Chain A
């Protein structure tokens, strides 16, 4: 098999962050798009929010950076051909990765975080909210609160390229399993844990980029893009490269679980930092079924015939699901009646209840970031690409996803209200943060397919 296989992504909160009750400040995203002439293009991005008291909203900053980067790439690719007489020369793409794309990402990220800041402060200054400690931040320093790195890889049929700012790492693994570090941040004079950041005024000029043509369609290699937590967990660069080759060979069966377990081991035995990877392979580098289509971001834009297996399966089973839903609804109605008669409110399942407690009793500023990282679930539920029942059924595996689904009202396309809302038993902060997520998004929803 030639060409790019669907990318995998994984993100785990750092062991130290988990122990100290801090949110995960990493973000990761992968997607597939089409150029104007219909050529498939994959994109993957990782971002690492700086964390710490000077960067209180960096988890939001990293999530916005990943989502925005994918969106900007999609918009640009939709305007250009990748093959034929209309296709730009490689030099044009080199310039795009080195200059145009960084400038566009930086300027739009600044606008996004300022917009988020206005909403954040408005929410924090609501009468029933605790005063926001950073509310007095001068306008010029707002981007700093969201400080994050960003690494981005664009994979087209005839070339692939990268760009980004900060201390992310990019590794290429060859057909022989040998790994090489392609891009790393050079040590600057900042000292300590200093890194390039989107929050810097000159950030667009700090991007490092590159482009590699794919001379042979049958070429086999893999690319692994990671935040710094993985490399810093390894004793040496040689260990890091060995680890990268191992991760990219993750078998298809249970890939997400295996990756999650590997990342957990890396952070707990290593740096304790958040760890994120996005990776893809060109050609049949390892086993034919290495990557699971269901791992691809649900937000990908592909023609209907090429939708992920997961999405297609759900659609094919729609009549069955509807029937099951009717039965389930009847059952739920009976249960609701029984509970009403018993004087009890039907609360969410235990896993969701625990998730609510965890969010409500954790750091107040962690709620917004935690929910922002699930932005695609909010968007996909609202646009009908996801339905609530599968998420609710998987509450034990993904309690946050189940909570989001439980807070969704398909009739209104927004958040549940009235008794359904009361039954969730949310604390005011979580209630407000969810309401905010269900409002029209900062980044416009992806168009309907």
Chain B
């Protein structure tokens, strides 16, 4: 009895970078660091994809400055991806970028059987457009609600409040966004201020590269074969997020000079 003509398929895993390309990113080599970090992460991401054949990792990227545009519009298999450098200049249309992402998270074009997408928002500043409207538009999409939403703050001028809104609330009840452990006197120094459910503070090219590498490998690996979980408030996010990498420049790990 031959196997029927049904389409068995591995599950697409959409990974979308949402990159701030405003003028401030041109300073202190931030845009170069971002390009370098993403480019360097691709081999590791491809290896994770190879190790998880049940997931088809597809990468896209949005850049936002005066306007939000697709930098990499077609969902591209990571093995085929060649990263073209982002260019900095303009203001920070972050809300428009979220609307752009919302449009592709509709079903269709999103596949019925897709894995929860991974959205990585990277910014060094504050939105200059209607961020709330963009976020509301995004979060109307069920796939956005299911998505693993991560945010990386480049330097300490980044608006961690809006990045936290993008991620959603931290169910672990951790430190307020941007608060350094021990700084307020209300939280002990030994308590880590870092959590994947809060904006990741990248203070240098090194820590940025580590976070990008983590998102594109450890998170992609976890999202590729997610365990099901009980509905409702639980001990983890949409997927169980892996531990963050140690970062030399993290305020809790190191007291070295901040580059950004």
Contacts and interface: CB of A to CB of B under 8 A. Distances in A.
A and B: real partners? yes
Contact of A243 (B6, B11, B225): B6
A193 B10 contact: no
B47 interface: no
A54 B232 contact: no
B19 to A, nearest CB: 24
Contacts, number: 140
Contacts of B11: 232, 271
Interface in A203-237: 206, 228, 232-237
Contact of A167 (B10, B53, B228, B234): B228
Contact of A197 (B7, B10, B230, B235): B230
A16 B52 contact: yes
A51 B232 CA distance: 17
A54 B241 CA distance: 12
A272 B4 contact: no
A235 B229 contact: no
A16 B225 contact: yes
A147 interface: yes
B230 A147 contact: yes
20 contacts: A16-B54, A20-B225, A190-B232, A191-B238, A192-B229, A192-B238, A193-B238, A195-B229, A196-B230, A197-B230, A200-B232, A232-B11, A233-B8, A235-B9, A242-B4, A245-B4, A265-B3, A266-B8, A269-B9, A269-B10
Interface of B: 1, 3-11, 52-54, 111-113, 116, 142, 145-146, 148, 225-232, 234-240
A189 B145 contact: yes
Contact of B230 (A50, A233, A250): A50
A169 interface: no
Nearest to A237: B112
Nearest to A245: B4
A50 B232 contact: no
A103 interface: no
Interface residues of A, number: 53
A234 B111 CA distance: 11
Contacts of A52: 226-229, 240
Nearest to B51: A19
A134 B10 CA distance: 33
B80 to A, nearest CB: 21
Nearest to A254: B1
B231 A197 contact: yes
A234 B226 contact: no
A234 B6 contact: yes
A312 B227 CA distance: 42
Contacts of B52: 16, 272
Nearest to A267: B54
Nearest to B234: A54
Given A191-B145, A242-B4, A271-B54, A199 B9 contact: no
Nearest to A50: B228
A190 B231 contact: yes
Given A199-B230, A249-B1, A271-B54, A191 B7 contact: no
Contacts of A249: 1
Given A55-B227, A190-B229, 14 more contacts: A16-B52, A16-B54, A54-B234, A54-B240, A187-B142, A191-B146, A193-B226, A195-B230, A200-B230, A265-B3, A266-B8, A270-B10, A272-B53, A273-B54
A319 interface: no
Contacts of B54: 15-16, 270-273
Contacts of B225: 16, 20, 272
Nearest to B235: A54
B2 to A, nearest CB: 9
A192 B9 contact: no
A240 B112 CA distance: 12
A83 B95 CA distance: 65
B209 to A, nearest CB: 27
Contacts of B10: 269-272
B260 to A, nearest CB: 32
A365 interface: no
B120 to A, nearest CB: 16
Nearest to A240: B6
Nearest to B142: A187
Nearest to B231: A190
A270 B9 CA distance: 5
B8 A192 contact: no
Given A191-B116, A192-B239, A272-B53, A144 B4 contact: no
B4 A243 contact: yes
Given A190-B232, A271-B10, A236 B112 contact: yes
Given A246-B3, A251-B1, A269 B116 contact: no
A311 interface: no
Nearest to B9: A235
Q: Which of B1, B111, B145, B228 has the most CB of A within 10 A?
A: B228
B228 A228 contact: yes
A20 B234 CA distance: 25
A52 B239 CA distance: 10
A50 B53 contact: no
A200 B54 CA distance: 29
Query: Interface centre among B3, B116, B229, by most A CB within 10 Å?
Result: B229
A387 interface: no
A242 B4 CA distance: 8
A67 interface: no
A233 B239 CA distance: 19
A246 B9 contact: no
Interface string A45-86: 000101111110000000000000000000000000000000
A266 B9 CA distance: 9
B222 to A, nearest CB: 9
A200 B231 contact: yes
Contacts of A194: 228-232, 234, 238
B7 A239 contact: yes
Contacts of B146: 191-192
Interface string A16-58: 1000100000000000000000000000000010111111000
B145 A235 contact: no
